[in-house]
Amino acid sequence: MSTNFRIEQDFLGEKQIPAAAYWGVHTARAVDNFPISGTRISAMPDLIRALAFVKTAAARTNVELGVLDAKLADAIVLACDDLVAGKLHAEFVVDVIQGGAGTSTNMNANEVIANLALEKMGLDKGRYDVLHPNDHVNASQSTNDVYPTAVRIALWLGIERLLESMAFLREGFEAKAEEFKDILKIGRTQLQDAVPMTLGQEFLTYAVMIGEDEARMREARALIQEINLGATAIGTGINAPGGYSDRACQLLADISGVPVEKASNLIEATQDTGAFVQLSGVLKRVACKLSKICNDLRLLSSGPQAGFGDIRLPARQAGSSIMPGKVNPVIPEVMNQVAFEVIGNDMTVTMASEAGQLQLNAFEPIMGWSLFKSIEHLSQACRTLQTNCVAGIEPNRELLAKRVRESVTLVTALNPLIGYEKSALIAKTAMKSGAPIGEVAESLGIMSRAELEALLVPEKLTQPMALVRSSP
């Protein structure tokens, strides 16, 4: 046999494994079986670190409870430390989309950790007679408690970054709201002119929307802190010693820094993926609102000559291969597309969760992958939206002021004084004639121009305030 390979075997038979590979026969079969997406587990470093946290907690617990020799456990922990530090992630070669409820991912981790631990003991890869991927690295465990636990920890870590990105974007809108607080403009409903507001008020709403979703995201994160480590196969804890689950969960929280808690019913927790559905729904909510904000930015910046033109977005790149000088709102557009992806991912998570059967949901890999993508892409999109767009937004002050001066929507404030019908008559006549509303009101004998202009001070029309008509 060539020194470039080693032979490993499982109950299906023997298989050649590259001598340099830290993965083994189970991983090799998974690579053969699942050539699906072309994206490997190595694309999810949070999941690899989370698996290392779980294996560390398991090894330490097994030593305490007399299940595992301390020398072997120490080697396993050292190997896991390397994975946490970002080493050997390229050895996680299984496709992110796989059958088997995550077994291939768990076995990939078991084999990498086992062979790395063997190296640290001064032994060759494949010396499973000394330290075995299943018997030692996976002791007191099953894929059915390891994988869901690791996915939850990885998601928690990703949500932390997403919350930071959302706060970064929210603070950007808050800064613009303060910068634009004195700039009057005409609001719009159903794309039609409405009553006055400030540009600052408009931008503050975006900050508030994001802040609300930060709160919802924290609530969803709290749900995924409940784990089933120690459940083993179906939640009964078979092959795990008494006290294992409580101690392993406690150690995992300490090791990972994630405040995980043992589920009150491990059988229920092993089959229930409701927390993933809840999280996915919140991510969809975030996506919908961010997409709406970007739709607004695209509308408000449309033009520059034949659109709304309320604001100017920073120019990021040439917008057309045929129209010279064209600049498109490419940063809001990329957020829109991320939002569409997240909404689609939510449907995937929903269907995968619904498809669970009896004591296990076999489709957690696609749920995990969908959630990881949604979290990471939203996080990156929030940062590029703030850095490459929001921070550089400028108001079109002259145009906004002109529109306020000329707007017939100011007559809305007259409703309590002269009634809806007379207000509508002023507006209709002004739009038809093009004359200022003060001149129209006076010509109709409804109110003098001076009296109307004294009432309709735009600055007063952006806050709750009762207008009082002066005595004749």
pLDDT tens readout for residues 288-332: 999 999 999 999 999 988 999 999 999 988 777 778 778 899 999
Residue 319 CA to residue 457 CA, distance in Å, equals 40
When the pLDDT of each residue in the chain is averaged and rounded to a whole number, the result is: 94
Are 364 and 239 found together in one domain?
yes
- Listed range (104-108, 190-194, 245-249, 341-345) with the worst mean pLDDT: 190-194
Of 257, 259, 268, 273, the residue nearest 225 (C-alpha): 259
Confidence grade of residue 78 (pLDDT, cut at 50, 70, 90): very high
Please give the angle made by the CA atoms of 33, 39 and 44, to the nearest 5 degrees: 115
Residue 472: pLDDT over 70? no
Residue 79: pLDDT over 60? yes
Q: What ranges make up the beta strands (E) of 161-309?
A: 184-189, 192-198, 226-227, 261-262
Are 387 and 418 found together in one domain?
no
Residue 27: pLDDT over 80? yes
Residue 439 CA to residue 434 CA, distance in Å, equals 10
Identify the helix (H) or strand (E) that includes residue 314: none
Q: Which domain holds residue 239?
A: 145-397
Residue 472 lies in a domain: no
Are 366 and 432 found together in one domain?
no
Residue 465 lies in a domain: no
CATH number at residue 372: 1.20.200.10
Confidence grade of residue 215 (pLDDT, cut at 50, 70, 90): very high
CATH number at residue 112: 1.10.275.10
* Other beta carbons less than 10 A from residue 142's beta carbon: 24
Residue 230 lies in a domain: yes
Distance of CA 430 to the CA centre of its chain: 49
Of 319, 343, 344, 341, the residue nearest 329 (C-alpha): 319
User: 319 exposed, middle or buried (CB, 10 Å; 0-12, 13-18, 19+)?
Assistant: middle
CATH number at residue 426: 1.10.40.30
pLDDT, position 458: 65
User: 303 exposed, middle or buried (CB, 10 Å; 0-12, 13-18, 19+)?
Assistant: middle
- Residues 230-247, mean pLDDT to the nearest whole number: 97
Residue 133 CA to residue 120 CA, distance in Å, equals 15
Are 171 and 79 found together in one domain?
no
Pick from 119, 139, 159: which residue ends a domain? 139
Residue 2: pLDDT over 70? no
Are 375 and 226 found together in one domain?
yes
Pick from 139, 171, 200: which residue ends a domain? 139
Are 349 and 415 found together in one domain?
no
pLDDT digits (tens, 9 = 90+) for 395-439: 999 999 999 888 887 788 888 888 899 988 988 998 888 888 888
Are 97 and 211 found together in one domain?
no
DSSP per-residue string spanning 207-229: HHHHHHHHHHHHHHHHHTTEE-T
Residue 360 lies in a domain: yes
Confidence grade of residue 116 (pLDDT, cut at 50, 70, 90): very high
* Other beta carbons less than 10 A from residue 189's beta carbon: 8
Residue 373 CA to residue 342 CA, distance in Å, equals 8
List own/partner pairs for 348-354 with CB under 8 A and 24 or more apart: 349/276, 349/277, 349/280, 350/277, 350/280, 352/273, 353/273, 353/274, 353/276, 353/277
Pick from 349, 365, 397: which residue ends a domain? 397
Provide the domain count of the chain: 3
Residue 382 CA to residue 456 CA, distance in Å, equals 39
Are 307 and 387 found together in one domain?
yes
Catalytic residues: 320
8 A C-beta contact, residue 458 and residue 184 = yes
Are 200 and 304 found together in one domain?
yes
Contacts of 56 (CB under 8 A, 6+ apart): 76, 77, 80, 81, 251, 255
Residue 34 lies in a domain: yes
- Residues 441-466, mean pLDDT to the nearest whole number: 80
pTM: 0.92
Are 108 and 211 found together in one domain?
no
Are 63 and 153 found together in one domain?
no
Are 43 and 177 found together in one domain?
no
Residue 292 lies in a domain: yes
8 A C-beta contact, residue 45 and residue 161 = no
pLDDT, position 471: 56
Residue 464 lies in a domain: no
Residue 1: pLDDT over 60? no
Residue 359 lies in a domain: yes
Contacts of 355 (CB under 8 A, 6+ apart): 361, 362, 363
- At 198, is the secondary structure helix, strand, or coil? strand
